[in-house]
Structure 1
Amino acid sequence: MVNLVQNIVLVTIILVFAALEIRSRKHEHFHATADDTKLELFMFLTLLAVSQPFIFLVTDKLSALAMPEQRNAWAHLPWWAMGAILLVADDMTQYWWHRASHSPLLWPLHRAHHTAHYMSIRITYRNNFFYYLMMPGLWASGVLIYLGFGNAYLVYIVIKLTVILGAHSAVPWDAPLYRVKWLHPLAWVLERTVSTPATHWAHHALTNEDGIGHYKGNFGNLLFVWDLLFGSAKITRRYPPKVGLQDDLLFGKERWFVEMFYPLIHSRRAHSAMVPGGRAYEEAQVDRHAAQQPAASQARGTGPRP
């Protein structure tokens, strides 16, 4: 029941943000490929219909076996206590999972989220299939729902999904806060509390060389507080001109089914993190590649962007 209500609310929130993107006509500049659309659509559907229901079902069954007398045992806790527990058990663990996913070992499971060359709500759940199955926060949330957090989780997840979708939206809702001087104090508080388009777009930046990009930081999902606490925050109040991955420009984009189902399916690209022993293509390597083949890259129109 919790999963069904959550999905209805999620679809409603998505439709609202989608309407804003369409009204702004930003969607006309995405130039998304067929592979982009397939990856985003199939990952969204499998998360809602397969991954999360599976995790919640398994945690419910295992919790009933391990602690049958504890079902709804924490339902008496006040709302603020439930909220604090969820922030730690779900959002803080997702921060660390996200941060760990930028390591060589787990990068192939998260890489798909960064291969989009546009920012939009449609990329919010663009990840590898196993990325969510292994996410600690979902498993912890399943246990908490068993303990009596069902209603609290619904409220929490509505707030979290709204913030996350807003952070990925092609329409940066925080821009007016930076333009209007008397709103600057509110901007200062919000950008240090929750993920905003400015801070999260920086995480998706094509390069760090523009002074805005920070793709090895700004990992927060709901709360940006975690980035401040754990030293990964960068706030510029600006938006990177380009997003995506440099190696996609050099070697071509990976196929959607490779991005979604690695390691069950391996890449056939010249350089790829999604092969046994493969690794991410670092910015320094892009610079060396450009120095070695500047004319060829420019002729193909696939060289590294400034």
Structure 2
Amino acid sequence: MPQKMTWLLIAVAIAGFAMAEIISKRYRDTVHATSNDTKLELLMSLSLLVFTQPLIVLVTDALCQRFAPHLRNAWSTLPWWAMVAILLVGDDMMQYWWHRISHSALLWPLHRAHHSASYMSIRITYRNNFFYYLMMPGLWVGAVTLYLGFGTVYAAYVVVKLAVILGAHCAWAWDAPLYRIRALHPLMWIVERTISTPATHRAHHAITNVDGIGHYKGNFGNLLFFWDVLFGTAHITRQYPAEVGLRDDQLFGAERWNHQMFYPLCQSSREYSALKFGGQIYSDESAVEMSLDGAADSTR
């Protein structure tokens, strides 16, 4: 796929979902972003596009040329379906596991920025910590496949993956009207177990799990939701959580954009924060306990 065509299709995908958010009025009604949010989302998207991805490709190319010069374009004769299979495992499945371990205490500070948004929108697609993407194994594997000669197939794969991810984050839930059509229920049963959808991904962004809809400890898939099905982290309800975001931000105020983007180089000054050494991670269970304590105090 020519580079110009790749960028054109990416632009069409972004513009299409942006228009869907605007026309459906979901952006107006649900996206209440602050300047702090905008700085984080804009700077992270630009840094990924302008710095991180080009750097990973250049470094990988240099290393491969140094240690394996004979492998340049060595796999370019593989059939397209074989290349896609390799990308799905080497990039998408690897991203599933990277995403999953990023919800551990050690790596959570590098990923919490993505969950700190109190709204769903395509604008949060690349809202993350700077080092989250720099360390993402799938991006490095993807750069290796480019060296091996996957160029055209990789470009098409990126377009498809981006379209699915944008759709999963879109303020307008494209799957909602399809769930209401009874004749489509069998098809949607397959779709929601194959790719990430707004319903399954919103559950991952939910502020709580106690309603039975939220599932922020699962639904980690990016392009393929199938990885969640395969590895036992899937939660499918065809419902949408009432709130998304982080409980600790509700309780103690939003973290500054630079702390979210550049931790551990920049650390939070907030009293309760995961973005500083020795900080705490708050869950909805913690918030419930605090609310009960507060209610008890008020009756004394």
Shorter-normalised TM range: over 0.9
Alignment partner of 2:149: what SS? helix
2:172 is the counterpart of 1:171: yes
Deviation at 1:282, TM superposition (A): 2.0
Name the structure 2 match of 1:112. 113
| Contact 1:59/1:139 (8 A) holds in 2 | yes
Name the structure 2 match of 1:302. none
Name the structure 1 match of 2:59. 58
Name the structure 1 match of 2:210. 209
The aligned runs of 1:147-226 (5 Å cut-off) are 147-226=148-227
Name the structure 2 match of 1:249. 250
Name the structure 1 match of 2:81. 80
Alignment partner of 1:253: what SS? coil
Q: Distance in 1 between matches of 2:273 and 2:183?
A: 48
Name the structure 2 match of 1:262. 263
| Contact 1:177/1:183 (8 A) holds in 2 | yes
Q: Which moved more, 1:222-231 or 1:7-16?
A: 7-16
| Contact 2:207/2:284 (8 A) holds in 1 | no
Deviation at 1:294, TM superposition (A): 4.1
Alignment size in residue pairs = 297
Render the CA deviation track for 1:211-260: whole Å, top value 9, x for unaligned: 10000000000001100110100000011111000000100000011100
Deviation at 1:279, TM superposition (A): 3.1
Deviation at 1:296, TM superposition (A): 9.7
Percent same amino acid at aligned positions?
A: 62
Render the CA deviation track for 1:10-68: whole Å, top value 9, x for unaligned: 33321111111111111112111010111111111110000000001100110111100
Q: Distance in 2 between matches of 1:2 and 1:96?
A: 31
Alignment partner of 1:293: what SS? helix
Alignment partner of 2:11: what SS? helix
Code of the aligned partner of 1:15: A
Deviation at 1:144, TM superposition (A): 0.6
| Contact 1:52/1:138 (8 A) holds in 2 | yes
| Contact 1:7/1:48 (8 A) holds in 2 | no
- After TM superposition, the score normalised by the length of structure 2 is 0.95
Code of the aligned partner of 1:57: L
| Contact 2:179/2:185 (8 A) holds in 1 | yes
Name the structure 2 match of 1:67. 68
Code of the aligned partner of 2:79: P
- After TM superposition, the score normalised by the length of structure 1 is 0.94
2:98 is the counterpart of 1:93: no
Deviation at 1:283, TM superposition (A): 2.1
Deviation at 1:277, TM superposition (A): 1.4
Deviation at 1:156, TM superposition (A): 0.5
**Residue segments in structure 2 that go unaligned for 5+ positions in a row:** none
Code of the aligned partner of 1:17: F
Q: Distance in 1 between matches of 2:192 and 2:266?
A: 39
Q: Distance in 1 between matches of 2:236 and 2:116?
A: 23
| Contact 1:206/1:242 (8 A) holds in 2 | yes
Going from structure 1 to structure 2, the CA distance change for 1:5 and 1:106 (only over 3 Å counts) comes to farther
Going from structure 1 to structure 2, the CA distance change for 1:182 and 1:133 (only over 3 Å counts) comes to same
| Contact 1:113/1:125 (8 A) holds in 2 | yes
| Contact 1:114/1:204 (8 A) holds in 2 | yes
Q: Distance in 2 between matches of 1:5 and 1:221?
A: 23
